[in-house]
Amino acid sequence: MTSTVRQSLGLVSLVVRDYDEALAFFVGKLGFELIEDKPVPEQNKRWVVISPPGSKGCGLLLARASAPEQELHIGNQTGGRVFLFLYTDDFWRDYERFRAQGIEFVRPPKEEVYGTVAVFKDLYGNLWDLLEPKKQVLSSNQSVEAVPK
């Protein structure tokens, strides 16, 4: 008998300078939800987890840099490439809301084969895709989201 392996990403660590400034940006400006914020006194840290509104998937662990080597990577965790992909069900709603909050878009909205996308910076300079994937109909009862390859 073969067992089915079930795995998923639970959290992605995002190195930040300060918990409260990161929360002000992600919760206050992007509208993310605060899932957990618990002190970890033995490590002089906090366990801070956020998630996009309505998300049932992976969350972000805001991890305050605790060493000079970690501080060097704040805002550049992927060497200047897009780091995270924020999927949305309404690109223009979120694009306009983010712009009204002063979010800096470094690439304007564009229609791609996989959906509508624009690239923005978080408060540290990490690059994000704001993406509304296109739906492709497979049959009358199924659909799949097209994603970039």
CATH code at position 43: 3.10.180.10
3-state secondary structure of 11: strand
CB-CB contact of 140 with 108 (8 Å)? no
Residue 1 lies in a domain: no
Write down which residue in 74, 99, 128 finishes a domain: 74
- Look at residue 66 in the predicted model and tell me its pLDDT: 94
Could you say which residues of the chain have pLDDT below 50?
137-144, 149
What confidence tens digit (pLDDT) does each residue in 103-136 have?
999 999 999 999 999 999 999 999 999 999 998 6
Residue 2 lies in a domain: no
CB-CB contact of 108 with 118 (8 Å)? yes
| Overall domain count for the chain | 2
Question: Where in the sequence is the domain holding 65, given as residue range(s)?
Answer: 7-74
| Shared domain check, 69 and 80 | no
- Look at residue 138 in the predicted model and tell me its pLDDT: 43
- Look at residue 149 in the predicted model and tell me its pLDDT: 43
3-state secondary structure of 22: helix
In sequence order, what E strands does 58-114 have?
59-64, 82-87, 105-112
